[in-house]
Amino acid sequence: MASPGSSTRSAARATSSAYRRLPIRWRLAGGSAALTLVILLGFATIVGVLTTQRIYSEFDRGVALGADVLQRRLAVELNPARGGEGDFSVIDSYAEAQRAAIRVVTEDGQIIRSAGEADFGPLRPLRSHKINDWRVETRQIGSFGGSLYVQYGERLSEARATAAGVRFFLTLGVLGGAALALLAGLATAQRAMAPVVELTTATRRIAAERDPSIRIPHPEADDEVAELARTLE
């Protein structure tokens, strides 16, 4: 039975042989596309990480701001002396407008009022926490025979969906950039190989017609192809 090292060397030789059998223009274009892919991957990774962090940071700030606004509105609504109606009806319209879930609970966890799918678990003393796909902010809204708290939450899946969309478009950009680099590399390689094709055509004519008077084309650039043309004369 062949050893793992032998199998690895055989696979490496097969890969190298397959690469050498590729046309030169494909090697040149493939190398250019691979380099472009590596550069774009590095750039996309950095942008993706920074953008995702920014998305979640903005989401967290938005939830905290929503909780602060609701806390202030409830402070007014629950105080008839300040023109409030003394009830929690404001949370229904606020939850619908913000696409959020809200609940008002006592210090011992009794739910006084809720709006939306407020699956927030037991009351926690922390101002913010994550539970059941929710980012939840907790604020104290007063004492009415005991402390009352309002919990305001928005779904984390919305932030995840936004981050996933960013990653998708970055991936699309990387693959599209690599594909364009491959096409551009093929076009450039085709132009670079044109003098060699002309030399090959001319030498074939000379060999076929036995006519040494056929002129070998000389490229304008003084490079290896021009040296080959001078050698063939």
Q: Does any domain span residue 195?
A: no
Q: Does any domain span residue 4?
A: no
pLDDT at 1: 47
How does pLDDT run across 99-148, given as a tens digit for each residue?
Answer: 999 999 988 888 888 898 888 888 877 788 888 889 999 998 875 556 88
First and final C-alpha spacing in the chain: 56
Q: How far apart are CA 228 and CA 102, in angstroms?
A: 80
8 CB contacts (<8 Å, ≥6 apart)? none
pLDDT at 17: 59
Q: Does any domain span residue 228?
A: no
Q: Does any domain span residue 224?
A: no
CA separation (Å) from 101 to 32, 63, 168? 52, 11, 29
Residue 116 lies in domain: 25-188
CA dihedral 98, 101, 102, 107 (to 10 degrees): -150
Residue that is written with structure tokens 């920074």 in the block: 50
pTM of the shown model: 0.70
Q: Does any domain span residue 17?
A: no
| Lookup: tokens for 101 | 């879930």
pLDDT at 223: 61
pLDDT in tens, the chain (233 residues): 445 555 555 555 555 555 567 677 777 788 888 899 999 999 999 999 999 999 999 999 999 999 999 998 888 887 655 555 566 788 889 999 999 999 999 888 888 888 988 888 888 777 888 888 899 999 988 755 568 899 999 999 999 999 999 999 999 999 999 999 989 888 887 777 777 777 777 677 766 766 666 666 666 666 666 666 566 56
Q: Does any domain span residue 136?
A: yes
CA separation (Å) from 164 to 48, 152, 158, 187? 10, 24, 10, 35
Q: Does any domain span residue 211?
A: no
Domain at 44, CATH number: 3.30.450.20
How many domains in the chain? 1
pLDDT at 23: 73
Q: Does any domain span residue 210?
A: no
